Chain A
Amino acid sequence: MVLLTRKIEFSASHRYHNPNLSAEENQRIFGKCNNPHGHGHNYTLQVTIEGEPDPVTGMVLDLKELKEILEREVMQRMDHRHLNYEVAELAGQIPTCENIARVIWQLLEPKITEGRLHRVRLYESPDLFADCYRNGANGAGKS
C-alpha cells in the first residue's frame, strides 16, 4: 500500500459558542474563542489517500482529480467563509478542528473512488491540529 498526501490551505472565520450554555459558561469554556464577532485562521489541510499504484500509470489516483475534489468539496465551501453561518454541514456544531476535520472526512470519503481515504489532518495553526481516521483502522500508516 502507498500513501499519497495533498495539502491545501484555506482561510475562514469562526466562533465557539454553545447557545445551550450561559454566557458565563461559554466564556469559561471557550475563552477568547467565544468573542462575539468571531476570529479567523489560515487552515492547512492534509489529505492522505491509500492504495496500490496503477500498473499502467504508476498512480494511486490522479492528483489533478484529487485537486478538483478538494477545490469543489472544501475550498468552495469553506475558503473565505464564516464556518458557523455559511457551511451547512457544520450547522449546530461548534466549528472546532475536531468537528471540521470530521466534516471534511465525510465530504471527501464518498468522492474518493480510486484508492481510499486514509487520513484527514487539519491544522488550525502550526501548533494545533486534528486527525480523522477510519474507526478501527490499524496497520502501518505513517504520519
Chain B
Amino acid sequence: MSGTHKIELGRRYRFSASHRLHTPQLSEEENSRVFGKCNNPYGHGHNYVVEVSMSGDVDPATGMIANLADLDAFVERQVLEEFDHKSLNEDVSVFRERVPTTENLCIEIFRRLKSFPKAKLERIRVEETGNNSFEYAGENQEGKRP
C-alpha cells in the first residue's frame, strides 16, 4: 500500500435465513435460560445484512480496488447461494457443530471470503437486525481496523 492514505471498499449484501440457538452441550433448561426465545424449537429468521470491507491498491486504469462484478460474483458463490432462504442450522454444515449466532456467522463468512483473489479482506460486519450488528476482522491482526 503506497501513499499517505489507505482506501477500503465497502459493499453490503443481504440474505434471509432461519436459525435456532441451541447447543447439545447444555441441558434443555440451560438452553432455554441462555438463549431465551432464540431457543424456540422451530427456529425463527432474520433479514441479514453483510457488510464486506476490502482494501488494496486502486488500479489507475479503472479507479477501483476490485471490480464490483467480480466481488459480487464471489460473495454470491461463497456465501449467498448457500445461506439465502435456508436454515443455517440444517443447511450450512459448519452450524451443525456450532451455534449459529451472528458472532459465529461473522467468523464463518470471513473464512469464506478471505480467499478473494483481487483484494484483501479487512473485515466482515453482519447486521442481524437494524439494532444488532457484529464485526470480525480475523485473528493475528488480519484486517486490523485503521
Interface residues of A (CB under 8 A from B): 16, 18, 20-21, 29-31, 93-99, 101-102, 105, 119, 121, 126-143
List the A residue with the shortest CB-CB distance to B65: A98
Inter-chain contact A135/B6, CB cutoff 8 Å? yes
12 contacts between A and B (CB under 8 A): A94-B62, A94-B64, A95-B63, A96-B62, A98-B63, A99-B63, A102-B58, A119-B146, A132-B5, A135-B5, A139-B145, A143-B125
List the A residue with the shortest CB-CB distance to B9: A130
Inter-chain contacts of B3 with A (CB < 8 A): 135
Inter-chain contacts of B65 with A (CB < 8 A): 98, 130
Q: A94-B62, A128-B68 are in contact. Are A134 and B9 (CB under 8 A)?
A: no
Q: Tell me the minimal C-beta distance from A3 to chain B in angstroms.
A: 12
Interface residues of B (CB under 8 A from A): 1, 3-13, 53, 58, 60-65, 67-69, 125, 144-146
Q: A31-B69, A98-B64, A99-B58 are in contact. Are A138 and B146 (CB under 8 A)?
A: yes
Inter-chain contact A128/B6, CB cutoff 8 Å? no
Q: Tell me the minimal C-beta distance from B143 to chain A in angstroms.
A: 11
A30 to B10, CA, bound (A): 18
A18 to B60, CA, bound (A): 10
Inter-chain contacts of B6 with A (CB < 8 A): 132-137
Inter-chain contacts of B1 with A (CB < 8 A): 135
A121 to B67, CA, bound (A): 19
Inter-chain contact A102/B7, CB cutoff 8 Å? yes
Inter-chain contacts of B9 with A (CB < 8 A): 97-98, 129-130
Inter-chain contacts of A139 with B (CB < 8 A): 145
A92 to B145, CA, bound (A): 31
A98 to B9, CA, bound (A): 7
Inter-chain contact A127/B7, CB cutoff 8 Å? no
List the A residue with the shortest CB-CB distance to B125: A143
Inter-chain contacts of A127 with B (CB < 8 A): 11-13
Other contacts beyond A127-B13, A138-B145: 16, CB < 8 A: A20-B61, A29-B67, A31-B69, A127-B11, A128-B68, A129-B11, A130-B10, A131-B53, A132-B7, A132-B8, A133-B6, A134-B4, A134-B5, A134-B6, A137-B6, A137-B146
